[in-house]
Amino acid sequence: MTIEWRADDRQFHLHNGLVSLVLRVYEDGSLGHLHLGGALPPGRAYRQLGPDPFDGFSNRVGDPIPFAYPTPGIGDFRVPALVAAGADGATALSLRYHDHRISAGKPSLDPLPSTYVEADAEAETLEVTLADGQTGLQVDVRFTIFEGRPLIARSATIRAAGTQSVDLRTAMSLAMDLPDADWVMVGLAGAWARETHVVERAVVPGRQSATSIRGASGAQHNPFLALRRPTTDEARGEAYAFSLVYSGNFLAEAEVGAFGTTRVRLGIEPETFSWHLDPGAAFTTPEAIVVYSDTGLGGLSDALHGLFRDRLARGTWRDRPRPILINNWEATYFDFDADRLVEMAASARALGVELFVLDDGWFGARDGDTTSLGDWVVDRRKLPDGLEGVARRIMALGMGFGLWIEPEMVSPDSHLYRAHPDWAIGIPGRARTETRQQLVLDMGRPEVVDHLADVLIDVLASAPISYVKWDMNRNITEPYGLELPPERQGEFFHRYILGVYELYRRLTTRFPEILFESCASGGGRLDPGMLAFAPQAWTSDDTDAIERLRIQWGTSLAYPLSSMGAHVSAVPNHQTGRVTPLSTRAAVAYFGVFGYELDPTALTAAERDEVAEQVAFYARHRDVFQRGRFVRLESPFSGDRDRVSWMALAPDGATAIVGVYRILNRPTPETHRVRLRGLDPEAVYRVSGWPAGDDPMVVANTGPRTGAELMAAGLRLDRDRHYAATLGDFWARLFVLERVETDEA
Ligand code: DGJ
């Protein structure tokens, strides 16, 4: 991996054998983007990939010139990366090469979360400074290439380097031109309890986007966008992924221009953003990641999973096996006391569960969702011996103890609100919109973050707490910073999220042994920014196994299994009313960070046996499920849609586990082969089925098989019509593949 600067050709080439990025300083000094894609040989000039000598736009206004950081008003009529108004209010900018630096490693973007390296040899970074003569604006455009990863990390720092102040109106993390428009745009869209559904559309002339203006990345769109060729599938073909390391308002957009080129933009959502720079002040954008794959969407996911799991997540829990937990939310909601919690914990412990999580309702007088957010004082009516009392009783059972908090919120009916009504976000003179009877604290104010850090540090130090679920259950309305002058109100949303990051930073630094899980009514803020602080997230409030097939499939496009909380809950399911077999619920939840969200004391004896076996199975294969390579096989979003399959391969390749799911059963079923991927074709695997038993589908596949057979011919899931008639809907089977030395094993 290296970054090459060829002064004679005015060309930068970042390459690592997997991906190449070629930039060129055009004749007029602007920075061109000639190529980001498959690896190109180093030591060569690539001027031919860009426009003919480019001296500016005279006589060629509107031409599809590829720029690395495009600006408006000078002849490029596509969407810009940067819009800034100088002292005269004009927004045209001509950014010209000023100088550049190449350095080993990767600089931190602190206070923003970003990917990192553990040794300088892992990456190299190019920073090109561009300058606009009229406004004095300077932009450091940053590109990092990593050893062994087919991706580039980008960010920009924009500085009012002259004597005038500058107002930023758009400051994208990335803009990137692709030379054609033969792309299908892949996004992750949804709603509460229906997050990260895969949506695809062929790009068309004009702009198509995913976005949020709600103050959080949101369940509606994820800050992720992929472009794939129409023929690209999970395993083959070209594709790009664009992912933003950010948790606030964002825009991910593809614009097809008049000449059939595609410009992708990724960054902070511009309509809800502005930033005032006094002379000398600077603004740094969040980090954007671009992945290039010629091995389909699977290749994109492999690269993002590795990066996010190993070089975005950090801290003690990054590499540690995650505990199997039970959460009391769906079992009790707000109605519990210490004895009831301990009774449930004891019952779960007997089944092998390792961590008990006390959810909402332990503080203030919170018997429902109308009160007490902000009053982080234990409710002694429910927990007479405090958090410490209940935590110690649960620990005595041999379990860890975890706690739910929702730091960013305040109930109007709370001591905190009565003491500091002005800390709740709102516009003076305008009624505040309430959702779930709660308001949002202005995290952009340092005194709010200081207060929350003090109070929550006390809470977390008051008991042996080993896990925290940080929830966030509403979005921001009436956005306004009471302490910001009118010309800085556009900074409100970004300052808010910087405050959230600051609080996360303080709590995770003070309690490095605590495992943090982020949550926003489920996956309402499941993004790379959060992953930098909390290595796992509550993927969705929807615990229905069938809905989870879609949600986990979609989430896995960008996020590793180690980041996806997935629990078995009771039936009828609380979100859909659906009744699914207990084995199916586990077979889906296994592919993530596993747990339970039910009352274990309500299980029948047979169910208890089944759960104990489930827990033991997950514990035995934890490494495969949490750190394995996830391979998507049959999608719930295409084809038959009723049959779904995926697999995880252990990091050492010795074990693989395949999940096969049927949503609606069908009479006289078609033959069905599931062809696997990622195995060693030469190796022999002993195949066994789960649940164990004499199920014909399991029996048909049990025994030694070569990797070649499993990939070329597949598992055989044929069902004759009599057998099919017994299966019902929503069934699942797992197949465990263990590599063995010989055929006889
Ligand atoms: C929303 C979360 O997603 C749930 O799991 C639960 O923690 C509730 N909030 C508690 O209010």
Q: DSSP labels for 237-278?
A: B-EEEEEEE-SSSEEEEEEE-TTS-EEEEEEE-STT--EEE-
Taking the CA of residue 329 as reference, the ligand 1 atom at the shortest distance is 6
> Does the C-beta of 362 come closer than 6 Å to ligand 1?
no
The Å distance, Cα 735 to ligand 1 centre, comes to 33
| CA–CA dist 89, 169 (Å, integer) | 11
The Å distance, Cα 521 to ligand 1 centre, comes to 5
Residue with the two structure tokens 């102040």: 165
Query: Which one, of 263, 237, 238, 239, lies nearest residue 252 by Cα?
Result: 263
Taking the CA of residue 541 as reference, the ligand 1 atom at the shortest distance is 3
> Does the C-beta of 356 come closer than 6 Å to ligand 1?
no
Beta-bridge mates of residue 567: 595
> Does the C-beta of 519 come closer than 6 Å to ligand 1?
yes
| CA–CA dist 368, 719 (Å, integer) | 49
Cα 484 vs. chain centroid, distance in angstroms?
A: 31
The Å distance, Cα 328 to ligand 1 centre, comes to 10
Q: Which residues of 2-22 are buried (b: 16+ CB within 10 A; e: fewer)?
A: ebbebeeebbbbbbbebbbbb
> Does the C-beta of 329 come closer than 6 Å to ligand 1?
yes
pLDDT number for residue 119 = 98
Contact 34, 23 (CB under 8 A): yes
The Å distance, Cα 446 to ligand 1 centre, comes to 27
Q: Which residues of 328-358 are buried (b: 16+ CB within 10 A; e: fewer)?
A: bbbbbeeebebebbbebbbbbbebbbbbbbb
pLDDT number for residue 601 = 98
Residue with the two structure tokens 């590499």: 319
**Strand runs labelled E in 286-350:** 287-293, 325-327
Taking the CA of residue 404 as reference, the ligand 1 atom at the shortest distance is 7
The Å distance, Cα 471 to ligand 1 centre, comes to 7
Query: Which one, of 691, 698, 508, lies nearest residue 612 by Cα?
Result: 691
Helices (H), 140-222: none
> Does the C-beta of 521 come closer than 6 Å to ligand 1?
yes
Closest C-alpha to ligand 1, atom 5: 541
Q: Which three-class secondary structure state does DSSP give residue 375? A: coil
DSSP string, 673-731: EE---S--TT-EEEEEEES-S--HHHHHH-EEEEHHHHHHT-EE----HHHHTTT-SSE
> Does the C-beta of 565 come closer than 6 Å to ligand 1?
no
> Does the C-beta of 170 come closer than 6 Å to ligand 1?
no
Burial class, 223, CB count within 10 angstroms (exposed 0-12 / middle 13-18 / buried 19+): buried
Contact 267, 286 (CB under 8 A): yes
> Does the C-beta of 363 come closer than 6 Å to ligand 1?
no
Closest C-alpha to ligand 1, atom 9: 521
Query: Which one, of 68, 241, 45, 231, lies nearest residue 142 by Cα?
Result: 68
The Å distance, Cα 569 to ligand 1 centre, comes to 14
The Å distance, Cα 509 to ligand 1 centre, comes to 25
Taking the CA of residue 520 as reference, the ligand 1 atom at the shortest distance is 3
Closest C-alpha to ligand 1, atom 11: 360
> Does the C-beta of 76 come closer than 6 Å to ligand 1?
no
Contact 651, 626 (CB under 8 A): no
Query: Which one, of 23, 52, 22, 24, lies nearest residue 38 by Cα?
Result: 22
Q: Is 454 left (phi over 0), alpha (psi -120 to 50) or beta?
A: alpha
> Does the C-beta of 468 come closer than 6 Å to ligand 1?
no
Stated as kind and residue range, the H or E segment containing 339 is helix 338-349
The Å distance, Cα 473 to ligand 1 centre, comes to 8
> Does the C-beta of 404 come closer than 6 Å to ligand 1?
yes
Closest C-alpha to ligand 1, atom 3: 521
> Does the C-beta of 360 come closer than 6 Å to ligand 1?
yes
Taking the CA of residue 469 as reference, the ligand 1 atom at the shortest distance is 7
The angle formed by the CA atoms of residues 727, 729 and 731, to the nearest 5 degrees, is 70
The set of catalytic residues is 471, 541
> Does the C-beta of 250 come closer than 6 Å to ligand 1?
no
The DSSP symbol for 236 reads S
Closest C-alpha to ligand 1, atom 10: 360
- Dihedral Cα 603, 607, 613, 617, nearest 10 deg: -80
> Does the C-beta of 122 come closer than 6 Å to ligand 1?
no
The Å distance, Cα 360 to ligand 1 centre, comes to 7
Residues of the chain predicted below pLDDT 70: 744-745
| CA–CA dist 471, 358 (Å, integer) | 13
Closest C-alpha to ligand 1, atom 1: 521
Taking the CA of residue 519 as reference, the ligand 1 atom at the shortest distance is 3
* 513 Cβ contact partners less than 8 Å away, ≥ 6 residues apart: 316, 466
Closest C-alpha to ligand 1, atom 2: 521
The Å distance, Cα 540 to ligand 1 centre, comes to 10
CA distances to 54, 258, 621 from 66, in Å: 11, 13, 48
Query: Which one, of 315, 65, 62, lies nearest residue 175 by Cα?
Result: 65
At 339, list the tokens: 């004895």
The pLDDT tens digits of the residues spanning 516-567 come to: 999 999 999 999 999 999 999 999 999 999 999 999 999 999 999 999 999 9
Contact 441, 488 (CB under 8 A): no
| CA–CA dist 596, 402 (Å, integer) | 14
Contact 12, 4 (CB under 8 A): yes
One-letter amino acid of 423 = W
Peptide bond into 691 cis (omega under 30): yes
Query: Which one, of 576, 571, 602, lies nearest residue 586 by Cα?
Result: 571
